[in-house]
Structure 1
């Protein structure tokens, strides 16, 4: 995915983080910060699978596939 993840709705599908869902408020190379009901949780990308909801469409992505700095993602995915 070339798009920006910040601001998208996301649900974590992998244990032990399964059940965490909300909006992505920040992203680093190795983590997402997800906000839900005023609580922010940091979830590592490696070893987890994420379901993003963008424009009503669900997209499942393995964290290892997007383990890049957000600003480098556009350069790497061509």
Structure 2
């Protein structure tokens, strides 16, 4: 089960997400569902199109079943299977 404390160790595909901050201000406010993930990007399907967001420059707000979690994209860099090996401090609900 995905919780705010272990979200970095789980699959992100299928989660609802919103960009809350980015170095590229035109990306702020993009909202949709994660449909794919590469080493450096999250691919998000919005109502109108599919958008590729670089993890390094964005801060994401993930919607879980009972809460929201704000995640700095730099913590997500790497393939999901590689993130399991990293020692990462737990995140707390937003």
What is the TM-score normalised by the length of structure 2? 0.76
1:51 to 53, 56, 61: 61
- Partner secondary structure for residue 5 of structure 1: coil
Is 1:62 the equivalent of 2:60?
Answer: no
Equivalent residue number for residue 33 of structure 2: 23
CA contact (8 A) 1:2 1:77 kept: no
CA distance in 2 between partners of 1:66 and 1:59 (Å) = 13
C-alpha RMSD over aligned residues: 1.4
Secondary structure (helix, strand or coil) at the match of 1:33 reads strand
User: Number of residue pairs matched?
Assistant: 78
Give the aligned partner of residue 74 of structure 1.
84
Question: Offset at 1:37?
Answer: 1.5
Confirm or deny: 8 A CA contact 1:33 1:40 kept in the other structure. yes
TM-score of the superposed pair, with normalisation by structure 1: 0.90
CA-CA distance at 1:64 after TM superposition = 0.6
- Is residue 2:16 matched to residue 1:9? yes
Normalized per residue, the structure richer in strand is 1
